[in-house]
Amino acid sequence: MPDLAWHETPSTTAGAPAVLLLHGFLGSAREWEDVAQALTPTFRCLCPDLPGHGLSRAPEACGMTEVAHTIINHLDRLGVSRCAVVGYSMGGRLALFLAAHYPKRFTSAVLESASPGLRDEAERRQRYQDDYELARRLEVLGEDKEEFAKFLRDWFAQPLFKTLADKPESLNQLIAQRCEENFPRCIAAGLRAMSVGRQPSLWEILPQYRTPTLLIVGEEDRKFRFIAEEMGEHCSSMATKVFPGCSHNVHFENPGGYTTVLKHFLEATT
């Protein structure tokens, strides 16, 4: 089982419900700091660094099933029998996996820019090969932070993050934060562990999925907006909130609006 680093923002209210916050690829638990602060004192926020990210720098050979088991076991140690789960991108895939496989443990779920995985086996094999090559590129960088910053600049230049180009100061802040909290060789190992190419498809379970779930997407993130629309067509317990002026990273681009929507949903479903 992977050994994950955990961060907690405790509530000042006794017995406050817990919320599990799962970051995306190239991130860490630190990206939830502002969101977690806004959710207290109403909620107790639990934020793990996922394999290869943040302080979880030496991931063992693991996949989504193993990571999910590790998270459930840690919640048991904390005495958290039920909680809400919030996930962004890679963390959103994990959040859906948790809510689908452990439905009695999660009161609700919020999935930002996330998917149920890839339906086609050939597509999954190709994606894993692509991620394997991306991991090799990261490993070549070693501990060179300047080269890592160049890699991140290329990464965020993808159409997926198109609206970040209009916010250069925010983009520079995001790249600096990612460089500070992560190491390329560890990220490479985490990518291999959590690649969507290794994840079994969850599309087939959506008609039977009953956990109240909010799908958050940016209006300019056409790929994940369409995925969210299709998820909603397959599952009656899912609703979608589209944020204008945002692409793939809504909670970073519009933290105030994101947190307001998140808090209202959690208060209504927890």
Mean pLDDT of 197-215: 96
Determine the topology of domain 5-269 in CATH. Rossmann fold (3.40.50)
- Of the pLDDT bands very low, low, confident and very high (cuts 50, 70, 90), residue 3 is confident
Mean pLDDT confidence for 196-205:
95
**pLDDT for 60:** 63
pLDDT in tens, 31-89: 999 999 999 989 999 999 999 999 998 666 588 999 999 999 999 999 999 999 999 99
Span 94-134, pLDDT tens digits:
999 999 999 999 999 999 999 999 999 999 999 999 999 99
Structural Rg of the chain based on CA atoms: 17
Dihedral of alpha carbons 162, 130, 2, 214, sign: positive
Q: What pLDDT shows up at residue 61? A: 59
pLDDT at 182 over 80: yes
Q: What is the pLDDT of residue 154?
A: 96
Nearest-angstrom CA–CA distance, 129 and 213: 31
**59 and 51 Cβ atoms separated by less than 8 Å:** yes
User: According to the model, what pLDDT value does residue 148 have?
Assistant: 96
Name the residue with higher pLDDT: 142 or 47.
47
Q: Among 1-15, 155-169, 177-191, 218-232, which stretch is predicted with the lowest mean pLDDT? A: 1-15
Per-residue pLDDT at 195: 95
Give the count of beta carbons closer than 10 Å to the beta carbon of residue 129.
12
Mean pLDDT across the stretch 190-217? 96
Domain assignments of the chain as residue spans, ordered by start: 5-269
Cβ count near 30 (within 10 Å): 20
- Residue 265 scores a pLDDT above 70: yes
Confidence (pLDDT) at 1: 61
pLDDT > 90: what percent of the chain?
Answer: 90
% pLDDT > 70, the chain: 98
What is the reported pLDDT for 241? 98
Closest CA relative to residue 138, chosen from 90, 174, 186: 186
